Amino acid sequence: MPEPELSPEEKVLFTYTNIHRMREKKKPLKLSPKLMEIARQYAQVMAKEGVVDDELDAKNYSKRVADAGYKFKNDLLIFNATGGANYTPEGVWTVWSENAVANMNMLGDYEETGIGIAKKENVIFFYVLYAVPEK
């Protein structure tokens, strides 16, 4: 399956994350078309509701991903989410890299990622999944 096309904002976040991972001696993440679809859809849900929360659709991230048909290794799936007025991918990456939990998620032993970015007026929502696919 071909890699999904990225928006300029998604490309920045993807590139910054992989540079950060390589500096920390981690393998770069690959884009997963299925995780991209899930992340994009859920970023839209957050934007519609105007809230950063993982359970706006009455599912948590692992249930949402499993229900969408993405098979991942047990406990090798995590997410980062945020949103705010006039947020940029560069700013979000900086905040996540300085936050212990979010940084650990970005640097975990994951192989694939999906990025979702959605806007509601001047508020921008970011939802990123990291996973190891079941093989």
Rounded CA gap, 89 and 133, in Å? 25
Q: Along the 135 residues of the chain, how does pLDDT read in single tens digits?
A: 677 899 999 999 999 999 999 999 999 999 999 999 999 999 999 999 999 999 998 999 999 999 999 999 988 999 999 999 999 999 999 999 999 999 999 999 999 999 999 999 999 999 999 999 988
Rounded CA gap, 64 and 114, in Å? 13
Q: What is the pLDDT of residue 1?
A: 63
Rounded CA gap, 12 and 10, in Å? 5
Q: What is the pLDDT of residue 4?
A: 81
Q: What is the pLDDT of residue 75?
A: 84
Rounded CA gap, 19 and 58, in Å? 34
Rounded CA gap, 114 and 124, in Å? 17
Rounded CA gap, 105 and 96, in Å? 9
